[in-house]
Structure 1
Amino acid sequence: MVKITDVARRAGVSPSTVSYALSGKRPISDATRRRVQAAVHELGYRADAGRVRAGRGSKVLALAVPMRPGIHVPVMTRLAVSVVTAARAHDHDVLLLTQGDGEEGIGRVAETGLADAVIVTDVQLHDPRLPLLRSRSLPSVPIGVPAEPEGLACVDLDFRAAGELCVEHLARLGHRVVALVGSPPEVYVRRTAFARRLVEGFTSAADRHRLTSAVLPCGTGREDARALTERLLRELPALTAVVVHNEPLLDPLTDAFERLEVRIPGDLSLTAVCPAPVAAAARLPLTSVAVPSAELGARAVRLLMRKLSGAPVPGATLLPTRLTERASTAPRGV
């Protein structure tokens, strides 16, 4: 059996450095980490294999949070905090994986036994990490529902229903021309599941109510908001309602409309899909469908605990949507 001392000898470092490089518990230089990882792969080392086989496990959950373009860091931070809090309640620590594609980190966890299980975030419809998870014995829960969720215990907000619920609310208020201000373009380019599903729900409900609709991805800065408001009013002069699925843009978009003398909600109703505290604390409290980041993280941890105990788990768990009316929406023309 390959030992940690064998890996240390191959990498030219001490056994404690190997342990720190694999666990992430202390800072290690990138060059040293790469040497250790190469030695692990070459030798086929599996950390604490005897302890894992004995059923005691590492008492660590891995959380894959790839820091990609278009990722809103506060959203991921809230999710990570909820995972850590729930994991500690089950006497587990959390190992954070932040590689851009996530595959290398997940592969390392699976091969070395660094963690008992993994939670995967920012799931794409055709996510290259999922075949890796299916091929390994490492228990996993994706937060997000891919195009083919069979065999995966996924959990997410029902984003398709969220898009539908926003449009249903606006249609009841008499609005006939609506727009979705979506996530940054790169989020759609990589076919991120939650963003795509919200678009599906938005367009489906708009078509069902025979509304004129448009979907516009947008960046997250104030200049992005200014340019987008001008484009919306130019291309959709009859526009009276907007759904925003881009949390950093909420206040800048409100400011940009007001600078163009568009009154909210007198001229334009605004609805958001975001965490409830964010909507309530906006400069103009926003009608919103809540994104329950804390509940998503806690649910994912509970599902992993069930998997680790051998209990059955459901396939896909979609949390129900709830819309809260606030000051930003009103009947058309009021």
Structure 2
Amino acid sequence: MNIGEIARRAGVSRSTVSYALSGKRTVSEATRRRIQDVIDELDYRPNAAARALAEGRTRTIGLVIPPATARLTHMQLDFVASVVEAAARSDLDVLLSPSGGDHERSFERLLSGRRVDGVILMEIRVKDARVDRLLREDLPFVGIGHTAGDHRMSWIDVDYTTLIARCVHHLADLGHRAVALINRSPELVAAGYGPGLRAAEGFAAAVAERGIAGFEYACGDDTAAGRAVVRRIHAEHPEVTAAVTLNEAALPGIQQALEDAGVRVPGGFSITGVAAQRWAEDFRPPLTAADVPAQQMGAQAVELLVERIAAPDAPPRHILLTPPVSLRASTAPAPSLAESTQARVSGSGGSTAPNGR
């Protein structure tokens, strides 16, 4: 239950409910009583953080998304939707603002004008100038993602290092001796994009531990790049029988390229990785993957920000999520060298559960 629902049932505006709760402006006795009756009926009890926000300045939070690509991926859109939905439950508006490149002025206007009570940052680099800028501005903020070794900010993130390593161990357990990592775009990785760098670290550590060959490929966030990277892998390393990826936007192209080459998944080639559940389930066959809980992360980011606004001097909180690898149908035992060519054409299904590493 939130202020918006109380306003609807009482037949008044949200601001009127806010004024009645905070006492910042005079509300007629009849209106106040009508609002109170609804509150009593619904047993509405605003918590301390909500009360602090009711006494704030704008009741608006900023959601900052760097224009890393020409369009947002589905996972990014899931984060945006979850933040907006969670903010609405707290009776907050969301101001969407890009940053990076030609969009720095938008980010600066967001801060210098004090148009918001706090900020949520997405797509964070391991060294991120926006984090330093927000710390200097002394504006409450939270990251979906985190910088390297900076404990001055609150954040929620996915443990890409561990999850990509688990995917490699799963493939190694199935007998694959040469695997590829399909990472995010060269521009993002070069810019220090956190998930991309941490995925590469987890991949390198896991292939070294298992004594198998590993090859990393950067890949743009689109279908064409997905097709191109599969062609490169087959041309440069035909011994590769499986791939791990965190590039969900490239998955349709990866699937198309494998189909065009007559390579059957999972009989001739296995693929796994980290992706939003929607992408994993749309892949054919459905992708064995650690499903990124975007809705949960967006909601928790809003909760963290509300806490920061209410108590800016409280110690920062850090939430690192490690969702399980959901076993689907895109991984299977590696084909032997003798049957590799035939397996890539005919294929066969089946897979086993990842280990608990």
TM-score range, shorter chain: 0.7 to 0.9
Decide which moves more: 134-143 or 94-103: 94-103
Q: What is residue 230 of structure 2 aligned with on the other side?
A: 229
- Post-superposition Cα deviations, 1:6-33, rounded to whole Å, max 9, x if no partner, equal xxxxxxxxxxxxxxxxxxxxxxxxxxxx
**Structure 1 residues 69, 53: closer, same or farther in 2, change over 3 A?**
closer
Please tell me whether residue 149 in structure 1 is matched to residue 137 in structure 2: no
Q: What is residue 302 of structure 1 aligned with on the other side?
A: 303
Q: Distance in 2 between matches of 1:326 and 1:91?
A: 39
Q: Distance in 2 between matches of 1:54 and 1:223?
A: 48
- Deviation, 1:315, is 3.6
- TM-score with structure 2 setting the length: 0.74
**Structure 1 residues 134, 202: closer, same or farther in 2, change over 3 A?**
same
- Post-superposition Cα deviations, 1:272-313, rounded to whole Å, max 9, x if no partner, equal 311112211223211111111111111110001111221845
Note if contact 1:175-1:331 (Cα within 8 Å) is conserved in structure 2. yes
Q: Distance in 2 between matches of 1:304 and 1:54?
A: 14
Q: Distance in 1 between matches of 2:315 and 2:296?
A: 17
Q: What is residue 323 of structure 2 aligned with on the other side?
A: 321
Provide the secondary structure at the position in 1 that maps to 2:175: coil
Q: What is residue 93 of structure 2 aligned with on the other side?
A: 93
**Structure 1 residues 114, 226: closer, same or farther in 2, change over 3 A?**
closer
Provide the secondary structure at the position in 2 that maps to 1:126: coil
**Structure 1 residues 54, 75: closer, same or farther in 2, change over 3 A?**
closer
- Deviation, 1:213, is 0.1
Please tell me whether residue 207 in structure 1 is matched to residue 208 in structure 2: yes
- Post-superposition Cα deviations, 1:39-82, rounded to whole Å, max 9, x if no partner, equal xxxxxxxxxxxxx9994321111000122337644322211110
Q: What is residue 78 of structure 1 aligned with on the other side?
A: 78
Partner AA of 2:326 in structure 1: T
Q: What is residue 218 of structure 2 aligned with on the other side?
A: 217
Partner AA of 2:185 in structure 1: P
- TM-score with structure 1 setting the length: 0.79
Cα root mean square deviation, aligned: 2.2
Provide the secondary structure at the position in 1 that maps to 2:235: helix
Partner AA of 1:267 in structure 2: G
Q: Distance in 1 between matches of 2:78 and 2:202?
A: 25
Partner AA of 1:172 in structure 2: D
Q: What is residue 239 of structure 2 aligned with on the other side?
A: 238
The aligned length equals 283
Q: What is residue 127 of structure 1 aligned with on the other side?
A: 128
Note if contact 2:164-2:273 (Cα within 8 Å) is conserved in structure 1. no
**Structure 1 residues 156, 70: closer, same or farther in 2, change over 3 A?**
farther
Q: What is residue 249 of structure 1 aligned with on the other side?
A: 250
Partner AA of 1:140 in structure 2: F
The correspondence of residues 37-116 of structure 1 with structure 2, limited to 5 A, is: 55-69=55-69, 72-101=72-101, 103-116=104-117
The correspondence of residues 24-43 of structure 1 with structure 2, limited to 5 A, is: none
Unaligned runs of 5+ in 1: 1-51
**Structure 1 residues 242, 183: closer, same or farther in 2, change over 3 A?**
same
- Deviation, 1:148, is 2.8
Q: Distance in 1 between matches of 2:320 and 2:104?
A: 25
Decide which moves more: 80-89 or 244-253: 244-253
- Deviation, 1:114, is 1.0
**Structure 1 residues 220, 94: closer, same or farther in 2, change over 3 A?**
closer
- Deviation, 1:221, is 4.4
Partner AA of 1:161 in structure 2: T
